[in-house]
Amino acid sequence: MANNQSPDESRPLLSNGHGTDGQEHEDAGFLTIHHEGESHRSGFHPQHFLRITWRSSCTASKYVNVLWPFAIIAIVLKIAVPHAGLWIFAMSYIAMVPAANLVGFAGQELARKLPKVAGILIETAFGGIVEIVLFIVLIAKHKPNQEGENGDEGNLVPVIQAAILGSILTNLLLCLGLCFWIGGLRQQTQSFHAVISERLLLGPQIRDHLPPHALHRPPIYAAKFTKEKLDNDVQRISQATSIILIIAFVVYILYNARSQHSIFDEVLEADEHKDADHAEDLAKAKYTFTECSVALIFAVALVTILAYFLVEEIEEVVAAGVPDQFLGLIMLPLVEKAAEHLTAIDEAWDHQMNFALYHCLGPSIQTALFNAPLVVLVGWAMGKPDMDLNFEIFMIALLVLAILAVANFLRDGQSNYLEGFLLVMIYAIVAIASWFYPNPDVATSNGIQEALGSGFVVVK
C-alpha cells in the first residue's frame, strides 16, 4: 500500500494539502508533493528562505554564495562608472556564478518535489536557463553584417557558435572529467548503468550540426553558385534543421520520461541508497513551492541583467586581447555551467555516478537539440538569419575529439581517476588551442573567397 511517505508515483495528482496520516503537508496548488521534497511548510518565510539559500545543495555550492557581493558591485559599477568596461565584465562574470548556482539549486529543490525522472528532467531544464538567457542576449546584441561595413563590427555570431560548442565540450570534458577524477579519489572504480550513458550519449551532438557545415565544404562550385546563394542556402538548412531538432528534443524528453520511466527510476533509486549522506539530505530544511518560485524568478532576472552586462562589454574584452574563440569556448561556458558542475562533482564524490552522468551529459543533449536550435530560430525571428549552424571546422574537430574520448571511457560502464584526469587534460589542450586559434573574419564564411576572374568559388 502506498502512503504519503512512499515514493510511489501512482498517487493522485490532486491534493487537498493533507496526507493520509492527517499531517499537514505543503500545498503546491493541485500537485501532490513527492515525499523527498516535502518541506512541511507552505507560503514564503524569509528567514527559512535565506538560511536554505545559504546552505545550498552542497558544501562547495554554499561557499559559492560568498560571491554574492560581486553582483552588487557589478550593478553599482554599471550605473556609476559605465565606461569601466573591463571591470564591469569581470564583476559580472564572477557574480554570474552565485546567480547561476541559485537557479540550479532552486531547480533542484523543485525537482525533489516531483517523481524521480520528471524531477531530474526538470532540474536539467532549469540548469539550461542560464545558457538560454545568455544566448538570447547575445543574439539580441548581434548586429548583422551590412554591405560595405566591417564584417567584425558588432558580429557576435562567432562568440555564440563558440559558446554553443563550448558548453558541450565543458560538460563532456571538464565536468565529466572532474566527476571521474574526484569520485575516483574516494572509490578506486565507480560504475554506472548502461541505460544512463547509452540514452544520453552522444551521436546527436555531432550528427545534428553537420548538415549545414557539410554544404559549406565541397571544394569547388560553379560560377552561378555564388557566395550569397550559398550563405542563403545554409541559413535555410539551419532554420529547417533547428525546427526538426527541437521536435526531436521533445520526443527525446517524452521517451525518457515515459517509455524508460521504470528503469530510470530503479537506477536512480539505487544510486540514492549509495549516498552515505542520503538520510542527512532528507532531513535538511527545504524550500516550499512558493519559495522555489521566488528563488527562480529572482535568480533568472539577475542572470538576465548580468548576461546583459557581460555582452555589453564583450567587444572591449576582445579588444583587450581575449580571442573570440577562447571567450566563447572556455570563459562563457565555465560561468554558465558552474552550478551544474558543482552538483555533478558532489554526486560523484558521494558515489552517485548515474546522477552525475545525468548532470554532465543531459545538459549536453539539451544544448545540442534545443538551446542551439532555439537561438537560430530566435535570430531568424529577430531578422538576424546569419546566426546558423555552420560552425568553424576547428570547433567541429574539437567536438569530434571530445565525443571519441568520452565514448571510449563510457564504454565499459566504469570510471576511475585516471580517465577523469585524461579528460581534464584534453580540456586544457582545447583551452590552449582556442586561445591561439585566429579569430575568423566572418563566422559564417568558413574561409570562402571568391576567385575573381576564375569563374569559380573556391573553399579553402
Please state the domain extents for the chain. 35-145+152-459
Quote the pLDDT of residue 25.
46
Amino acid at 440: P
- Count of other CB atoms within 10 angstroms of residue 415: 27
User: How far apart, in whole angstroms, are the C-alpha atoms of residue 108 and residue 37?
Assistant: 10
Rg of the chain, C-alpha, whole Å: 23
- What are 457's three cell numbers? 568559388
How many other CB atoms are there within 10 angstroms of residue 131's CB atom?
28
pLDDT tens figures, 62-93: 888 999 999 999 999 999 998 988 999 999 99
What is the percent of the chain where pLDDT is above 70?
70
pLDDT at 259 (0 to 100): 60
Amino acid of residue 301: A
The alpha carbon of 129 is separated from its chain's Cα centroid by a whole number of angstroms, namely 8
Cβ-defined contacts of 145-151 (< 8 Å, 24+) = 145/386, 145/442, 151/441, 151/442
Least Cα distance to 194 among 412, 366, 421 occurs for 412
What proportions of the chain, in percent to the nearest 5, are helix, strand and coil? 65, 5, 30
DSSP H or E segment with residue 191: strand 190-191
Which helix (H) or strand (E) element contains residue 10?
none
Burial class (CB in 10 A: 0-12, 13-18, 19+), 377: middle
What stretches in the chain show pLDDT beneath 70? 1-40, 115-120, 145-153, 195-225, 257, 259-266, 268-283, 439-460
Please give the pLDDT value at position 157. Answer: 87
- Of 220, 169, 198, nearest to 341 by C-alpha is 169
Q: 3-state class of 458 per DSSP?
A: strand
Predicted local confidence at residue 358, as pLDDT: 80
314 touches 29 (CB < 8 A): no
Return the pLDDT at 75.
95
State the DSSP H helix or E strand holding residue 84, giving kind and residue range, or none if neither. none
Please state, in angstroms and rounded to a whole number, the distance separating the CA atoms of residues 59 and 160.
Answer: 32
- pLDDT of 23 reads 40
pLDDT at 36: 61
Residue that is written with C-alpha cell 505543503 in the block: 26
Which CATH class for the 35-145+152-459 domain? mainly alpha
Q: Go through the chain and tell me how many residues it has.
A: 460
Q: How far apart are CA 302 and CA 235, in angstroms?
A: 33
CB atoms within 10 A of CB 300: 19
Q: Are 220 and 430 in contact (CB under 8 A)?
A: no
The three-class DSSP label of residue 449 is: strand
Query: For residue 457, is it left (φ>0), alpha (ψ between -120 and 50) or beta?
Result: beta
Decide: helix, strand or coil at residue 212: helix
pLDDT score for 5: 40
Q: What is the pTM of this model?
A: 0.79
Q: At what angle do helices 69-80 and 85-111 cross, to 10 degrees?
A: 140
pLDDT score of 105:
85
For residue 336, which of 82, 49, 101 has the smallest C-alpha distance?
A: 101
> Residue 238 and residue 390: Cα distance in Å, rounded?
8
**Per-residue model confidence (pLDDT) at position 28:** 44
